[in-house]
Amino acid sequence: MTTVLIVDDQHLQRLGFRMLLEAQPDMNVVEEATNGSEAVRKTAELRPDVVLMDIRMPGMDGIEATRRIVESGGRSRVLVLTTFDLDEYAYEALRAGASGFFLKDARPDELVVGIRAVAAGDSVISPGITRKLIDTFTQRLPNGRSAAQEQRLAGLTEREREVLAAVATGWSNAEVAEQLHLAESTVKSHVSRILAKIGARDRVQAVIFAYDVGLVRPS
């Protein structure tokens, strides 16, 4: 059973999400929150598998709430919701540690599949959208690497750097395998080791790390 906390300042939105999710045999809505502060507190109390997080809310917004939830080190993963696919707030939410984002006008079945994916430890942003997000907001990328980033990057083998760069470019595992002449299962193993070495929770965070340290450059 996947437990979900719904965070949105609009009652009708919360009601719609609750009706959709509680109709699924494998999902349980444990609680609702109307702002970021409530989201942080209720996540700490209830430890849901997934926090379905609106971005724009009065008081503490979804970005800051996401950052605090992720930094707490708990098991809950955050799936943010936005109105536009290239909303700068969605990008900032990813940098804060969200495991992906969905549009509010996504089909119900897409949202359900996305929540299941996030609960299973995957990200729910397609490689192409990830690349567009980062390319669009390149002016927000930091200049230079921190000492911690240098250390994590130095821990990667040359092949792992190649795989990470390819993933950050927007290639799927199958495409990486084809381009680097590897088996797809080998690519998956490389990605798992990369995530562990750089301390990334998922593929999306690995992509952001690759851009942050300059392993790849926006087109």
Adjacency order of strands within the sheet including 2-7: 27-33, 2-7, 50-54, 77-82, 101-103
**Rg over CA atoms, the chain:** 17
At 162 the pLDDT is 95
- The predicted model scores a pTM of 0.71
Instruction: Report whether pLDDT(136) > 80.
Output: no
Q: Is 55 helix (H, G, I), strand (E, B) or coil?
A: coil
Mean pLDDT of 156-184: 90
pLDDT in tens, 49-71: 999 999 889 899 999 999 999 99
CATH topology (fold) of 2-125: Rossmann fold (3.40.50)
Rounded average pLDDT over 69-75: 90
Percentage of the chain beyond pLDDT 70 is 86
CA gap 25, 9 in Å, rounded: 26
87-110 pLDDT, tens digit each: 567 677 777 888 888 877 778 988
Task: Give the per-residue pLDDT at 205.
Answer: 80
Angstrom CA distances, 3 to 21, 100, 203, stand at 10, 17, 22
Looking at residue 56, its pLDDT comes to 87
Beta strands in 60-171 (DSSP E): 77-82, 101-103
The helix or strand, by DSSP H or E, that contains position 87, with its residue range, turns out to be none
Question: Which backbone phi and psi does 14 adopt, to 5 degrees?
Answer: -60, -40
Measured CA angle at 131 (ends 8, 89), to 5 deg: 25
Confidence class for position 187, pLDDT limits 50, 70, 90:
very high
pLDDT confidence of 46, banded at 50, 70, 90? Answer: very high
Average pLDDT over the chain, rounded to an integer: 85
Domain boundaries, the chain: 2-125, 145-212
CATH (residue range 145-212)? 1.10.10.10
Asked if the model's pLDDT at residue 174 lies above 70, the reply is: yes
The CA–CA distances, whole Å, from 67 to 61, 79, 92, 166 equal 10, 12, 10, 27
Mean pLDDT of the 33-52 span: 96
Whole-number pLDDT of residue 105? 78
Structural tokens at position 24: 């699924």
pLDDT at res. 106 = 79
Going by pLDDT thresholds of 50, 70 and 90, the confidence category of residue 142 is: low
Instruction: Identify the pLDDT of residue 117.
Output: 84
The span from the CA of 67 to the CA of 176, in Å, is: 31
